[in-house]
Every structure is written in C-alpha cells, then in structure tokens.
Structure 1
C-alpha cells in the first residue's frame, strides 16, 4: 500500500477530515480528534488501550513498528510503510484506531 492510498483510505472514513496541525505533518481527524498521523510517509495509529497492548504489534514487526514519541505510552505506534505489514492489516489498524477515537467522542460529534 502506498502512502497516498493510505491517506485516501483514512480520509474516506465517515466524518474524517484532513488537518496539518504542524507544518508538513498531515493527520486525519474525526470529531476534531486525531485517529491517524500521516506525515513523513509513514503512519501513526492507536494500537491498544496502553503501551502494553500496543507492544504486540511491535513484537510481530520489530523493524517496521516503533513506539510513537510522546504518546506511545497511550497505545500509539509509528509504522514504516516498507511492505512488511500486509495491506489488509494496515487497513485494519486504521479501522481500529478510528473506532477507538470515535468511541470516546461525545455522541453529538460522532459521525452518523
């Protein structure tokens, strides 16, 4: 999966909007909250409730997945798009991150 395909997949989610909170760093948001970091040609997603749950993905793909700086302790991983992780699993990771963020939104901000 190319970076452009991944960006398109993220932004096709219900209620998803692009944003650039830091110059050159694209993110995908839903209800004003980030569910995917898309800057630098990689992907950053929430992969569990905490760092311990997110560690499982890092153990399976040690050369492609790392703890995200600053927010890794909250279950966020940084993923290198090097082909090691199958496309369907990348889509699944985006789906799970999106679902986790939507679940915490107030009802009025959740996409219909």
Structure 2
C-alpha cells in the first residue's frame, strides 16, 4: 500500500472522521456533523496538510526539522497549518502522528455535542 493510501486510511479511521471533496479533486478528512464538520487533514497523493500547531510558531518547528519537506500552507498557514511531503525525509510514522495531532486539535475546538465518542 502506498504511503498516501496509508495516511488517508488512517485519517478516515479516526472516530467520527469522514471524507469530503469540497473543491473538485481535493480530498479532505473532516470530523463533526455534516453541516458543521471541520477539516483536519488535506489528503493529497504527494502531501498531507495538517494543523501542525496551535500557533504559527509551534507549526514552524516542522519547518525547522524538515526544511525541504514541510511548508506553510497557502491561505491558512498563518493559523498553524502546514503541508508535509509524503515520501520525503519525514518518516511515515511521524506523518501519521501529525494527522492524529491535527485531528485532536480540531476535535478539541468542536462544541462538546459535536465531538465524536471514541
């Protein structure tokens, strides 16, 4: 199984996670009810976009560790979102952990009534 498939399957296996394609050709993983679901991962073939930190400064730790394989996401990067390259220097287990951390951060921001029960 390709790393991108592993990441996608892992993201969608998290409690309450579901796939969506809000922009043609762009698969994302969301959590929460359909009308109020929140994206926690942008699932690409060559990269995964995640909420990498509560602040831009926290998310910048990825950039320092993996300068060639981590980048600030366009448009939402100022809010702590990064794009992490799949198949580069970042080990698969760290990519999977980044997806889990992003999920947990997004779930924590959901109203209690919309949070999935693990």
1:39 is displaced (CA, Å) by 3.0
**Deviation readout 1:81-112 (Å, 9 max, x if unpaired):** 12311121111111110000000101111001
Which consecutive unaligned segments of at least 5 residues does structure 2 have? none
Question: Is the 1:25–1:40 Cα contact (8 Å) retained in structure 2?
Answer: no
**Deviation readout 1:4-55 (Å, 9 max, x if unpaired):** 1110000000000000000000000001000000135310000111211110
**Corresponding residue of 1:58:** 63
Normalising by structure 2, report the TM-score: 0.91
Normalising by structure 1, report the TM-score: 0.95
Q: Distance in 2 between matches of 1:23 and 1:107?
A: 31
Cα RMSD for the two superposed structures? 1.1
Question: Is the 1:17–1:28 Cα contact (8 Å) retained in structure 2?
Answer: yes
Which consecutive unaligned segments of at least 5 residues does structure 1 have? none
**Corresponding residue of 1:20:** 21
**Corresponding residue of 1:99:** 104
Moved over 3 A (4+): none
Aligned residues: 112
